[in-house]
Structure 1
Amino acid sequence: MTRLTALPRSLSRRTFLAASAATTAVVAAGTGTAAAAKPRGISSRAHIFYYPWYGSPKVNGAWRHWPQGELTPPDDISSNYYPVLGPYDSGDRPGAADRHMRWLRQAGTGVLVSSWWGQGSYEDRMAPVVLDAAAAAGLQVAWHIEPYAGRDATTVVADIRYLTEHYGHHPAFHRDAEHGGRCAYYIFNSLKTVDWSPLHQVDDRAIVMAQTWDLSRIGDFGGVYTYDAIATANKPDWTEVAAFCAERGMVWAPSLGPGYIDDRAVPGNTTPTLDRAQGRTYDLEWEYALSAGNAGGVPDWVSITSFNEWHEGTQIEPATADTPGNLDYLSYEGAYGRTGRGAQTAYLDRTAHWVARFEAAHARRRY
C-alpha cells in the first residue's frame, strides 16, 4: 500500500508514529471481561490528551478535520469509529465541549492536555472554550505543544509565556500542587529540535515534558512522556528513563492507550494497527505503565492517549455502533463484556477503574 502525503498537521504525528513503530512488533492481545468500576473522583495525576481541532458548518462555518482522507461528513468521517455525538464541533458550548468534560470526570481524569498549534492557531482560539468548559466541570487544562512550522526551543519559551499571560489567570489553567504550582507543557515530537537549553528560562513556571526516552535528549526538560500506544503495547524497557527522572526530580509520565488504527484518515498507510481486543489491550498497557521501570513504585503521572484522537482510533470518548452512511465503522461492542448503550462508555468507566488503582498505589507509597 502507498501512503498519501497531502495531509495537514496530523501527518507529522503519523509520520513519527510510523517511524517509531517500524522497529516494534504489533501485540496480539487476548480479550478481557473484567467488570467496569464506578468513578471514584478525579485524579490530578491522570492526564489525557484532548483535541479541540474539530469543526462543523453549524458552529465553525465549515467542516474541520472530519473530512480528512477526502471523506464527506456527516455520514463519512476520517475515523474507523463513529462518535456518539456525531461529527461535532469543538467550539460547541453547551454542546460537545461540556459533554466532553462530564465524560472526562466520569473517567476520573483530572487534567486534559489540549492540543495546541501555536499562537493564533485554530486550537489557540478554542482555548477559552476548553478552559471555560473544564472549569465548569472542576477540571484543569495543560498544553500539548505540537510541531507547528518553525517550532524550536526559543519559540516554545515564547509560547509558554504567551499561554501564561493569556490564560494563566483562568481557574482551569493547570497548576500542579506537588510541583510548585507549575503548569505542564507536553512537547510532541521533541526530537525535532536538538538544543532545548532555552527551556531553563521558564523553569519557575513550567514542567516541560519531552516525548522520548532517549536519555541524551531529555536533560533540559522537566519530565518525560511517550505518547505512542503501539510502543507501550510492546513493553519497552523504561527502567533507565524512570530512574533518570527520579534521580533528578523530573516527572515520569508514561503514556498508554486502548488501541490504534488510522486506515480511514490515512488511506493506504503502512502504520501498524493495535487491536483493542475488547479492552484487554488497554488493561495490559495500564498494568505495564504502572509497574515498568519504576523500581517497585508507580510513575508520577500517567498520560492517556487519548480522549478524542478519532483519526488514530486511540479515543476513549464514547463511540456508537449505530452509524449512518455506507461505510463500516468499528465500535466498542463487547468491550469488558458490555453491549448496546453500555458499551459506548466502556472505556470511560474502565479508565476510572485504573485511575482509582493508580491513586491507591500513590497513597500506599506515601506511607
Structure 2
Amino acid sequence: MNRREFLRSVAVASVGSAVSTRALLAQRRASQTLADRFADLARHFIFEYYPWYRANPYFHWDQWDRKPPIDLASNYMPRLGAYDSRSVAVMEQHAAWIAGTGARAINVSWWGRDSDVNEIVPTLMDVMRAHDIAVTFHVEPYNDRHAYNYAADVEYLIREYGDRRRWDTFLLLQHADGASGPVFKSFRTILPAQSTDCHGVTSGIPDYVPDSVWRQQTDRLRQTFARDFDRLTLLADSLSVGRTKACGFDGIAIYDNYVEPESWAGHAESFSNENLLFSFNVNPGYDGMLLRTVDPNSCYSPPDFMPGRAAYDWSRPADRELATLASAARIRESFRTTIGLQTDPALVNVKHGFFLVYLNSFNEWHEGHQFEPMKDNDQLAAAERAVGYHNPINGRYRLDTLTQLLETVIDQ
C-alpha cells in the first residue's frame, strides 16, 4: 500500500467505516453548515503553539533582562508560572485546556532539526494524540538561509512525524470534497530586499531571497509528493498577492495581529481574484513586553496595545478590565469575520472546499496574545504584583470566550 492509499484508509476510518465517502459528500453538499461540510471540523481550528520555554536554567522567560521565576518576559503571569515546555505534566495540562475549547489541532512553532524544540516533538505528539489533538507545523526563520531549506524541512517533517509514526497524530486537513493532506504555514516567508530605519539608513534584509527561490522550493515539494497526497497546502505569511502567487504558495495565513479584522474583506477579495486561499486568525489583540533599557540612538518604539492602541494605566483595576473587555471584543470580532469570509460563496475558499482558522496564540507570552490561562489577578503574589503584570480578574476569560464561540460552530 502506497502513502496515498494508506492515508485514504486513515481518513475513512476517522469518519466511520460504515459511512461511504460518496454518502458523506452528498450529505455535506445538502447542508450549509460547516459541521456538515467538514466531518473533522474541530481540526480546522488550530492553536499556534510555542514549546520553547525552559526552566533550570530559564530560557525565553528571561528575554530582555527579565529575572524569572518572578519577573518574566511577558506582561502576564501564566497560571502555571514560569513552566518548562519539556514537562509532560505541562503538556498534559495544555492538551486538556486545548481539548476543552473544542479545537482539535495545534500548529507547532518549529525552529529546525537541530533545535531544542525539535527534540521534544515526539513526546508532545504522544501527549496530544492521547487527547485526540492533531499536530502540524509552523516553519520558523531559524537562520538566514531558511528559505533555501524550506522544501527539505517540510519533507523532513512529513517523513519524520508523519510516515515514521504512521500518521497517528499528524494533521491531514480534510476538504469539503473529501480530499485531504498536510498544511504548512511559515513565517517571514516573503520579505522586502531592504529597509530604511528612522535615521534614514538603508540596509539589506539578511534573510531576503528573490521569489524565484521560493518558487523552486514549492515546486520541488509538489513534485516530491505529487503521488502521495490529494492536497498539499502551503501558506505564506504575506499580504502581497502578486508575490505569493509568484512564489508558488496556495495562499496566505497572516500571523500579525496588527492587521485588523476590518481590513480582511479587501484582502480576501484580492487573493480570491487570483485563486489564492486565505486564512485570518482569531486573536485577542496584542500586548507585547517593553524594553526597560533603551539606547537613545535606537529606532525602538514601544508596541501599541491592540485593539484600539489605547494607553492604559495598568496599576488601575478599572483600566485592566477595560483592556480585558477590548481583548474579548477582538476575539469575537476576529472569529465572526474570519468565519464569515471563509464561508462566503463568492470567495475562493468555498470554491476550493477549504476552511482553516488559526487561533493566535495558545502560548506566545512575549507578545501577550495567549489564550492559555493567566493567574487571576488576586492570585498574584506580592512580589509578582510589584512587577506590574496586566493580569485580569478572570485569567481564563480568553479561553472561555473562545470556547463559547467554538460551541456555536462545532456543535451545530
User: TM-score, normalised to structure 2's length?
Assistant: 0.68
Give the % identical residues: 24
Aligned mates of 1:266, 1:303 — CA distance in 2: 32
Aligned to 1:241: 268
**Contact 1:264-1:311 at 8 Å conserved across structures:** no
Matched, 1:159 2:153: yes
**Contact 1:232-1:255 at 8 Å conserved across structures:** no
**Contact 1:228-1:256 at 8 Å conserved across structures:** no
Deviations 1:96-137 (A, max 9, x none): 111101111112221111101111111111211221111111
Choose the corresponding residue for 1:270, options 288, 302, 310. 302
Matched, 1:231 2:264: no
Q: Which amino acid aligns with 2:218?
A: L
**Contact 2:234-2:249 at 8 Å conserved across structures:** yes
**Contact 2:241-2:274 at 8 Å conserved across structures:** no
Larger-Rg structure = 2
Choose the corresponding residue for 2:387, options 317, 327, 330. 327
In proportion to residue count, which structure has more helix?
2
Q: State the Cα distance separating 1:159 from its structure 2 match.
A: 0.2
Matched, 1:86 2:135: no
Choose the corresponding residue for 1:308, options 344, 363, 379. 363
Aligned to 2:180: 181
3-state secondary structure, aligned to 2:236: strand
**Contact 1:115-1:146 at 8 Å conserved across structures:** yes
**Contact 2:190-2:244 at 8 Å conserved across structures:** no
Aligned mates of 1:216, 1:50 — CA distance in 2: 29
More RCO (CA 8 Å, sep 6+) = 1
Aligned to 1:56: 55
Aligned mates of 1:147, 1:266 — CA distance in 2: 26
3-state secondary structure, aligned to 2:339: helix
Matched, 1:129 2:129: no
The size of the alignment, in residue pairs, is: 305
3-state secondary structure, aligned to 2:252: strand
Aligned to 2:64: 69
Q: Which amino acid aligns with 2:363?
A: N
Matched, 1:200 2:197: no
Q: Residues 265 and 78 of structure 1: is their aligned pair in 2 closer, same or farther, counting only changes over 3 Å?
A: farther
Instruction: Give 5+ residue unaligned stretches, structure 2.
Output: 1-39, 192-208, 295-300, 308-322, 350-354
Aligned mates of 2:292, 2:179 — CA distance in 1: 41
Aligned mates of 2:346, 2:82 — CA distance in 1: 41
Aligned to 2:198: none
Aligned mates of 2:346, 2:53 — CA distance in 1: 38
Q: Which amino acid aligns with 1:157?
A: A
Q: Residues 72 and 42 of structure 1: is their aligned pair in 2 closer, same or farther, counting only changes over 3 Å?
A: farther
**Contact 1:209-1:225 at 8 Å conserved across structures:** yes
Q: State the Cα distance separating 1:223 from its structure 2 match.
A: 2.8
Deviations 1:124-152 (A, max 9, x none): 11211221111111001111111121334
Q: Which amino acid aligns with 2:333?
A: L
Instruction: Give 5+ residue unaligned stretches, structure 1.
Output: 1-40, 334-342
Aligned mates of 2:113, 2:119 — CA distance in 1: 9
